[in-house]
Structure 1
Amino acid sequence: MTATSQRVVTTRSARAGAHIGRHGQTIAIAVMLVVLLVFFALSADRFATAGNMLNLMRQIAPTLIVAVAMTFVISTSGIDLSVGSTVALSGSLLAIVLKQGWDPTLALIAVLALGAAVGFVNGWFSAYHGIPPFIVTLAMLSIMRGTALRATEGYSTPIDSELWIVQLGQGRIAGVPIPAILAVLIALAGWVVLTRTPFGRYVIGLGSNGESLRRTGVNIRKVGLAVYVLTGVAAALAGVLIATRLSSGSSNAGSGFELEVITAVVLGGTSLFGGRGSMLGTIFGALTLGVIANGLVLLHISPFYVQIVQGAILLLAIFANSKVWTRFGAVRK
């Protein structure tokens, strides 16, 4: 082998190693997802059926939609703990206003606007006043949940199944659930924005070195505000999908939802410390959590264990995120 060919081989090996280093956690979660699919397909009789797969897609759609938006938030080194409460309030208010005779289209617009307002408040306090996002969104978690409980007084509010808006949660197009179609479209849009637009670069830049980004002339406050508005709208849409799927709005909806969303994002390789985001990893992370929950139920294991598993996965994902992959990247460099 000549010196030139040796250099070519070395260069290709270096590029391959760099690629694996950048996407190592995404590759790992993809492999984990495949292993889980094979395991549950062999151990649970109904897991691999078409009906269960479509049901699984419908169930994980709200989580994936909010996880896509949460990827932007966490990439800026922020966090939004209020998404579960926003889901509950959005679904509850949708059911209430529909019961009062509102036009479904107007009700949908109003609920999405409510989500945007919640996100605006989170972003305004965090980005413009420097209050830690953990504190701001924790406060909003309590406010939104309490408002939902007050609005419903703890009771579920039914939604008339004859209204067209119910099709958002229960309808199908060519046999595919509408929530799944919406989730795929939103995930694709999120991937394009994060990886192919200036806004996506600003999001990553804000998480890695916000001061340097500010000195280039970017209004980092507006970027920080925008990601929370996106998450608020996504959480409101998730609330609509859940309420219309169940044909009722409940103040208890979305309990633990924020844990599931954050786990999906971190599991996919997005750094909790900001500066690194993987939309593809988020998709794999949401699918993994959905497969675990669905598979455990089909194996007749108590659903209470799902939260235990999710918490354990989140802890391991954070450990891998901050220790294992950081060291791998250092060795690669």
Structure 2
Amino acid sequence: MWEKQNRRKIFFRENRNEISIAVLIVVLLIVSPFLSEYFMTGDNILNLLRQTAYTAIAAVGMYFVILIGGIDLSIGSTIQIVGMVSVILLNRHCPVAVTVIAVLVLSMGCGLINGLLVTFGRLQAFIVTLVMKEILAGIVLVTTGGASIPGTEVPQEFMSIGAGYIWILPIPVVIMILVFGAAFFVMKRTVYGRKLSVSGSNRTAAYNSGVNVRLVQISAYMVCALCAGISGLLTVARTGAFQPSTTSQGATGMEMNAIAAVVLGGAALTGGTGTVTGAMLGALLYGVLANLFPLIGVSSYLQQLIQGFIILAAVVASVKDSRSVIRRLKFKKERQ
């Protein structure tokens, strides 16, 4: 009896962030129909899930980078360049499979460059990825001249990836579930997942235990870029055309959306804490709010303000949580 109670307490203590977000999502789902009659309609729920899928996939990749104490501000531009190259290749009758593989390799190449500059170049991740963001955005704007690229020769086979369904679920939602499942398995069941965690929480201990920390860090940036590439593919596949962003927000500010989802899920920007489940729940919470706000008449400007305060609150909460963990560890050492 006592063992069950202790296990339950430990479970709730270790997963309090995920449980809190899940409860908040449930509360929003219960309250939302009273705020808007359209929210709980089947079409809107499917649209909510589809829109959330793009952010959630990017957030899973961002989780890997934040876990090791890094950050990637270039994923929005990675999404843009993946979309552009996809449409250009398909318009030139490149096979769909070859196009998909090519742009995913391209995205991973961007992540590889980020990782190499951060690890071997010993540069700040913030600066490296910000520069990468500007370079990729510049390439897109120079190539397109700021104009959209119509998908005149984009085959239906490709567009079905973004607009099709498997049973009643949009394909992007199915891919989101698969990406989450793969990430969850990696973090819970593989040696690589444990190396990621220890590299983020205690880099010195990771070095001393024989972990190639640099390689782990580089791979995290590559995974992040790969997830951004998948998100970019799904985004452009929905319409079959490419529309470049002419603002500094990249792919509609995807960087901030992904970071917000991960931080909302309980990850600390200092690294070492958080779960992929929390990142997914954070993305879902963010998606519910983004979907609900327009339905209840909240202006886009006010939405940005509210979302900014949400991110700030989540960051403050994660910092406080990290400090409390450090205090507990110091207290244990003093007692020993």
Cα RMSD for the two superposed structures: 2.0
2:262 aligns to what?
Answer: 265
Alignment of 1:1-333 (within 5 A): 9=2, 13-160=5-152, 162-252=155-245, 254-324=251-321, 326-327=323-324
**Quick one: structure 1 residues 324 and 199, their matched pair in 2 at CA, closer, same or farther if it must change by over 3 Å?**
closer
AA in 2 matched with 1:209? N
- Cα drift, residue 326 of structure 1: 4.5
**Native 8 Å contact 2:268 2:322 kept in 1:** no
AA in 2 matched with 1:29? I
AA in 2 matched with 1:95? V
Runs of 4+ displaced beyond 4 Å: 11-15, 328-333
When structure 1 is superposed on structure 2, of 124-133 and 74-83 the one drifting more is 124-133
For residues 248-280 of structure 1, the C-alpha deviation after alignment (integer angstroms, 9 at most, x for no partner) is: 112216131100000000100112111112111
- Cα drift, residue 300 of structure 1: 2.8
Q: Find the aligned partners of 1:196 and 1:17 in 2 and give their Cα distance.
A: 23
Stretches of structure 1 lacking an aligned partner (at least 5 in a row): 1-7
Q: Name the count of aligned residue pairs.
A: 325
Corresponding residue SS for 2:50: helix
**Native 8 Å contact 1:21 1:329 kept in 2:** no
- Cα drift, residue 13 of structure 1: 5.0
Q: Find the aligned partners of 1:298 and 1:231 in 2 and give their Cα distance.
A: 32
Q: Find the aligned partners of 2:328 and 2:210 in 1 and give their Cα distance.
A: 34
**Quick one: structure 1 residues 329 and 15, their matched pair in 2 at CA, closer, same or farther if it must change by over 3 Å?**
farther
Give the TM-score normalised by structure 2. 0.91
Q: Find the aligned partners of 1:148 and 1:22 in 2 and give their Cα distance.
A: 43
- Cα drift, residue 20 of structure 1: 2.5
- Cα drift, residue 329 of structure 1: 8.6
- Cα drift, residue 14 of structure 1: 4.7
AA in 2 matched with 1:77? G
AA in 2 matched with 1:317? A
For residues 23-63 of structure 1, the C-alpha deviation after alignment (integer angstroms, 9 at most, x for no partner) is: 22222111111122122122111111111111111111111
AA in 1 matched with 2:297? H
Q: Find the aligned partners of 1:324 and 1:219 in 2 and give their Cα distance.
A: 28
- Cα drift, residue 95 of structure 1: 1.3
- Cα drift, residue 307 of structure 1: 2.3
Q: Find the aligned partners of 2:298 and 2:51 in 1 and give their Cα distance.
A: 18
1:3 aligns to what?
Answer: none
For residues 93-149 of structure 1, the C-alpha deviation after alignment (integer angstroms, 9 at most, x for no partner) is: 211222223222222111111101000000111122221111110110111111111
- Cα drift, residue 150 of structure 1: 1.1
**Native 8 Å contact 2:90 2:155 kept in 1:** no
Q: Find the aligned partners of 1:289 and 1:116 in 2 and give their Cα distance.
A: 26
- Cα drift, residue 12 of structure 1: 5.3
- Cα drift, residue 304 of structure 1: 3.1
Q: Find the aligned partners of 2:208 and 2:321 in 1 and give their Cα distance.
A: 33
Stretches of structure 2 lacking an aligned partner (at least 5 in a row): none
Q: Find the aligned partners of 2:328 and 2:130 in 1 and give their Cα distance.
A: 37
Q: Find the aligned partners of 1:164 and 1:274 in 2 and give their Cα distance.
A: 40
Corresponding residue SS for 1:129: coil
- Cα drift, residue 306 of structure 1: 2.7
When structure 1 is superposed on structure 2, of 316-325 and 268-277 the one drifting more is 316-325
**Quick one: structure 1 residues 40 and 328, their matched pair in 2 at CA, closer, same or farther if it must change by over 3 Å?**
farther
Give the TM-score normalised by structure 1. 0.92
